[in-house]
């Protein structure tokens, strides 16, 4: 008997949380998992919500329990497991059914899967889900790709379970095939840059101004009351107040300074480069995580090269202004990648809507995103660039001197600020109408007869060094 409006396959942290969220909003959810013992345990722990959950141990019973056209959400590792599951479940489905991949996936794979399934009249949706376990349980931000047909099926459920910003559900159909997964990938790239810059500010205060973690946490908590209000600032403020129950030391001091990364930040950088862009702040953040994992090399280098860092005198206000300018530049780099991809893949992405979908529920939610969506809605961005929207240029004009001051002081004092420094390099490069690539062109022509364009003249030219 068909009893469920949606099926969830994969009852790990995110899958369970999403299934419970749907059940809480009154949807009947069929649930299953590769390890069968998880299914009963999950339903048992669901309390009164169990009423809406329909546990199925066998895949055919799971599929048969779904209303048609079916919707099946997979919350399993991306890559080979996803392909294997598609292979197993597709023969049980009928034209018009939709399979959703709700994990972080490479959008090229999503495009391929959507095209393969379309040949069988099946729909494949790549959906970015942000907000971690709490978000998934009580209101994630969701970036949906795939066909209009699938969006019509999914819309009522996703709008009901999404986070809300002033009543507006933070979910939308952003474009076909891989658009949803791509937007989520770029979201994560921005997330990496923002996290790195917060870490850099922490480092400047901790090692340049001898502030304690709790003092720095208190500053971030103040930032979170103003224009820098955001989830990442909020949690960093909290993290810095904790003491290690074992040693009594600040918790951050007992955590090894080697960052993990699952790949989405790297994908953003790789795609940016493929699209002929440079998201140098995101690259700096990915690179900083890679360098951080070379702990033994860094320890040896500190011994041999010296690790001294100079004292800094930077006010909290200067740091806050610098951070605001850099944060705008980080978002701007993300939107530039989205713009290139939108063109390349014919997605017609709506940047204002993407900013709106990010205003609540997701990891990069911040007060600034409301201004960013307004800037895109206003449409008066020269060359389509976020940094050239009047609202943004005003902030940049006011805050850029602070960014320059912070980066200059950090560099002079030997403090590494790869992402803040990249923000400044991006800004200073882009504000020059005539840069220095004329030299590169001259060199290329000199050694390889590559030719160059001449200002004000058509055609390809060569220098007098060839006469
Ligand atoms: C989110 C997060 C989430 C997660 C990733 C990134 O939006 O909820 O981005 O998807 O944090 O797993 O993790 P890494 O830092 O390991 O790349």
Sign of torsion, CA 365 327 201 418?
A: positive
- Residue carrying the six token digits 């893949």: 345
The reply to whether 252 and 363 lie within a common domain is yes
The reply to whether 164 and 243 lie within a common domain is no
Triad 221, 224, 226: Cα angle to 5°: 130
With beta carbons less than 8 A apart as the criterion, state whether 141 and 130 touch: yes
The reply to whether 198 and 144 lie within a common domain is no
Q: Predicted confidence band at 2 (pLDDT cuts at 50, 70, 90)?
A: low
pLDDT one-digit tens code per residue, 85-131: 999 999 999 999 999 999 999 999 999 999 999 999 999 999 999 99
What pLDDT was estimated at residue 288?
Answer: 98
pLDDT one-digit tens code per residue, 395-412: 999 999 999 999 999 999
The reply to whether 222 and 121 lie within a common domain is no
pLDDT one-digit tens code per residue, 406-443: 999 999 999 999 999 999 999 999 999 999 999 999 99
- The residues assigned a catalytic role are 184, 191
For residue 131 and ligand 1, the question of a CB distance below 6 A is answered with yes
Q: Is the pLDDT of residue 1 over 80?
A: no
Q: Is 397 a domain residue? A: yes
Pocket perturbation via mutation, ligand 1, pick of 15, 128, 188, 359 by most ligand atoms within 8 A of CB: 188
Last residue of a domain, one of 145, 161, 177: 177
| Nearest residue (CA) to ligand 1, atom 15 | 261
Alpha carbon distance 100, 243 (integer Å): 41
Q: Is 453 a domain residue? A: no
What pLDDT was estimated at residue 96?
Answer: 98
What is the rounded average pLDDT of the residues 11-28?
98
The reply to whether 96 and 218 lie within a common domain is no
The reply to whether 269 and 416 lie within a common domain is yes
Last residue of a domain, one of 143, 158, 177: 177
263 Cα: distance to centroid of ligand 1 (angstroms):
9
Q: Is 338 a domain residue? A: yes
Q: Is 442 a domain residue? A: no
Domain of 229, CATH number, reads 1.10.1040.10
Report the number of distinct structural domains present in the chain: 2
Domain of 43, CATH number, reads 3.40.50.720
Q: Predicted confidence band at 13 (pLDDT cuts at 50, 70, 90)?
A: very high
Q: Is 55 a domain residue? A: yes
Q: Is 451 a domain residue? A: no
Last residue of a domain, one of 128, 155, 177: 177
pLDDT one-digit tens code per residue, 125-138: 999 999 999 999 99
Q: At what angle do helices 280-292 and 264-274 cross, to 10 degrees?
A: 140
The reply to whether 306 and 425 lie within a common domain is yes
What pLDDT was estimated at residue 78?
Answer: 86
Buried b (16+ CB within 10 A) or exposed e, 353-373: ebbbbbbbbbbbbbebbbbbb
With beta carbons less than 8 A apart as the criterion, state whether 264 and 104 touch: yes
| Nearest residue (CA) to ligand 1, atom 10 | 130
The reply to whether 162 and 223 lie within a common domain is no
User: DSSP for 287-327?
Assistant: HHHHHHT-HHHHHHHHHHH----------HHHHHHHHHHHH
The reply to whether 83 and 132 lie within a common domain is yes
**Its pTM surpasses 0.95:** yes
DSSP percent split of the chain into helix, strand, coil, nearest 5: 60, 10, 30
The domain in which residue 314 lies consists of 185-430
Q: Across-strand partners of 141? A: 130
3-state DSSP call for residue 366? Answer: strand
The reply to whether 313 and 417 lie within a common domain is yes
State the average pLDDT for the chain: 97
Tokens of 131: 């907000």
Q: How far is CA 258 from CA 112, 261, 297, 311, in A?
A: 34, 10, 12, 24
The reply to whether 334 and 405 lie within a common domain is yes
Residue 202 CB-half CA count within 13 A: 21
The reply to whether 52 and 143 lie within a common domain is yes
For residue 132 and ligand 1, the question of a CB distance below 6 A is answered with yes
For the chain, the distance separating the N- and C-terminal CA atoms, rounded to the nearest angstrom, is 84
Alpha carbon distance 342, 227 (integer Å): 30
pLDDT one-digit tens code per residue, 25-77: 999 999 999 999 999 999 999 999 999 999 999 999 999 999 999 999 999 99
78 Cα: distance to centroid of ligand 1 (angstroms):
13
The secondary structure of residue 78, as a DSSP letter, is S
For residue 264 and ligand 1, the question of a CB distance below 6 A is answered with yes
Q: Is 276 a domain residue? A: yes
Q: Is 463 a domain residue? A: no
């Amino acid at each position: 008997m068909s009893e469920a409006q949606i099926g969830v396959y994969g009852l790990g942290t995110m899958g369970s949380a999403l299934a419970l969220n749907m059940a809480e909003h009154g949807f009947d959810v069929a649930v299953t998992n590769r390890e069968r013992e998880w299914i009963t345990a999950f339903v048992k722990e669901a309390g009164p919500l169990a009423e809406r959950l329909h546990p199925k141990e066998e895949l055919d019973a799971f599929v048969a329990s779904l209303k048609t056209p079916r919707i099946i959400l997979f919350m399993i590792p991306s890559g080979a497991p996803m392909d294997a599951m598609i292979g197993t479940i597709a023969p049980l489905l009928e034209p018009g059914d939709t399979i959703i991949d709700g994990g972080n996936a490479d959008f090229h794979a999503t495009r391929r899967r959507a095209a393969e399934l379309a040949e069988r009249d099946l729909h494949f949706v790549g959906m970015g889900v942000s907000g971690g376990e709490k978000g998934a349980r009580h209101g994630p931000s969701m970036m949906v790709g795939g066909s209009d047909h699938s969006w019509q099926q999914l819309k009522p459920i996703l709008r009901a379970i999404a986070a809300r910003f002033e009543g507006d559900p933070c979910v939308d159909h952003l474009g076909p095939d891989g658009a949803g997964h791509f937007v989520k990938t770029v979201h994560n790239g921005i997330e990496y840059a923002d996290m790195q810059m917060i870490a850099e500010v922490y480092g400047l205060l901790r090692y340049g101004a001898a502030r304690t973690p709790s003092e720095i946490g208190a500053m971030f908590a103040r930032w979170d009351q103003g224009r820098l209000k955001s989830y990442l600032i909020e949690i960093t403020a909290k993290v810095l107040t904790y003491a290690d129950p074992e040693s009594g030391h600040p918790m951050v001091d007992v955590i090894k300074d080697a960052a993990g990364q699952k790949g989405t930040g790297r994908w953003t950088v790789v795609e940016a480069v493929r699209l002929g862009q440079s998201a140098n702040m995101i690259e700096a953040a990915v690179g900083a995580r890679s360098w951080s994992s070379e702990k033994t090399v860094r320890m040896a280098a500190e011994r041999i090269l010296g690790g001294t860092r100079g004292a800094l005198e930077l006010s909290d206000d200067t740091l806050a202004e610098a951070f605001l300018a850099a944060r705008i530049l980080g978002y701007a780099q993300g939107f530039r990648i989205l713009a290139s991809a939108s063109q390349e893949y014919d997605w017609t992405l709506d940047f204002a809507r993407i900013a709106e979908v990010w205003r609540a529920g997701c990891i990069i939610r911040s007060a600034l995103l409301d201004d960013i969506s307004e800037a895109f809605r206003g449409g008066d961005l020269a060359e389509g660039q976020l940094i050239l929207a009047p609202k943004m240029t005003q902030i940049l004009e006011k805050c850029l001197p602070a960014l320059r001051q912070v980066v200059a002081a950090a560099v002079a004092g030997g403090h590494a600020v790869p992402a803040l420094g990249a923000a400044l390099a991006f800004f200073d490069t882009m504000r020059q109408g005539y840069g220095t690539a004329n030299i590169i062109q001259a060199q290329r022509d000199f050694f390889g007869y590559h030719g160059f364009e001449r200002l004000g003249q058509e055609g390809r030219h060569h220098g007098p060094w060839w006469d």
